[in-house]
Amino acid sequence: MILTRMIGSETMLYCPKCKMLFEDRKIGENCPVCSHALRMPQQGDFIYVLTLSKEKESRAQELLSQAGIPFRSRTVNLSKQEFRLFVPYETLDRCYTVLGDLIPASSTPKELTPMPEEKRKLWRFLSLILFFLLIWAVVAAADTVANFFVSFFQR
């Protein structure tokens, strides 16, 4: 379960790739979203807070700037103009206080469910087959082009 509001819990672990906090995980486990190794959050780690529309993002940036909280914003979906907001780990509690009016009380980050192991194995197998088909197609195309040039210059 993804949870960013609960700071100070010993079970909270951080994924440096996803920039998310996870509860009830053990050191040495992998991220349920991207399979990267989880670790304890450290000062300076930017943590995912929430995804906002362009209008709310501008307001959130204004509020965080006024409060002196550093932040980063990344585009999630340019066509929908959605942005993800990240703040340093040590400012996470203050961030939720500052953005309290902007974030509905029921708003928590969407829980991302990990892909089942069977499905992950299936996709890895299909990817491997597609990779070999791609290599075969490239070799076959290169062979065809080489044969064309050989026959062209033998005339």
Q: What is the pTM of this model?
A: 0.56
pLDDT of residue 135: 97
Per-residue model confidence (pLDDT) at position 102: 67
pLDDT of residue 144: 95
**140 and 92 in one domain?**
no
Give mean pLDDT, residues 35-54: 86
| Residue from 108, 112, 97 nearest 64 by CA | 97
Q: What is the pLDDT of residue 105?
A: 55
Residue type, 117: E
Report which listed range, 61-70, 71-80, 104-113, 142-151, is most confident: 142-151
User: Does residue 71 sit in the same domain as residue 128?
Assistant: no
Residue 70 has pLDDT above 60, yes or no: yes
Residue range 82-102: mean pLDDT, rounded? 84
User: Rounded mean pLDDT of the chain?
Assistant: 81
Average pLDDT on 84-96 reads 87
Whether residues 84 and 136 share a domain: the answer is no
The beta-carbon contacts of 86-89 under 8 Å, at least 24 apart in sequence, are 86/19, 86/46, 86/47, 86/48, 86/49, 87/46, 87/47, 87/49, 88/43, 88/44, 88/45, 88/46, 88/47, 89/7, 89/14, 89/41, 89/42, 89/43, 89/44, 89/45, 89/46, 89/47
3 or 97, higher pLDDT: 97
**Domain end marker among 52, 73, 98:** 98
Judged by average pLDDT, the poorest of 29-38, 43-52, 109-118 is 109-118
Q: Assess whether pLDDT exceeds 80 at residue 109.
A: no
* pLDDT greater at residue 127 or residue 114: 127
Residue 27 within any structural domain of the chain = yes
Residue 91 sits in the same domain as residue 34: yes
4 found inside a domain: no
pLDDT at 107: 45
Verify that 119 and 92 share a domain, yes or no: no
Per-range mean pLDDT, top range of 8-17, 19-28, 67-76? 67-76
Residue 108 lies in a domain: no
Domain count for the chain, please give it. 2
Provide the CATH number for the domain around residue 53: 3.30.70
Domain extent at residue 130: 115-155
Residues 19 and 64 in one domain: yes
What are the structure tokens assigned to 128, written together? 């491997």
